[in-house]
Amino acid sequence: MFGRLGWAEILVIVVLLVILFGSNKIPGMMKNLADGLNVFKKEVKKSESKEPAKKPAKKQVAKTVPAKKKK
């Protein structure tokens, strides 16, 4: 999705951000975003270390019995 953004698109996005939020608020917003991402990563690592990986349950296959022939 973001791999197709060229330098012109990124420049337009940055200009719009500066117009909407002002140049003074953007660094604070980026810091808050980075802090939130760091907390998220820590929580994911913490939850992965507490719970061991669950093994998938074995698939049970029902055995079929041939039908009795009617006389």
Q: Tokens 């998938």 map to which residue?
A: 56
Question: In the prediction, which pLDDT does 52 show?
Answer: 63
Write down the number of H helices and E strands in the chain: 2, 0
- Per-residue tokens: 49: 């270390």
pLDDT tens for 29-57 read 899 999 999 999 999 998 877 766 667 67
pTM confidence score? 0.49
Residue 41 contacts residue 49 (beta carbons within 8 Å): no
Compute the distance between CA of residue 50 and CA of residue 48 in angstroms, rounded to an integer.
6
Residue ranges covered by each domain of the chain: 23-51
Q: How confident is the model at residue 3 (pLDDT cuts 50, 70, 90)?
A: confident
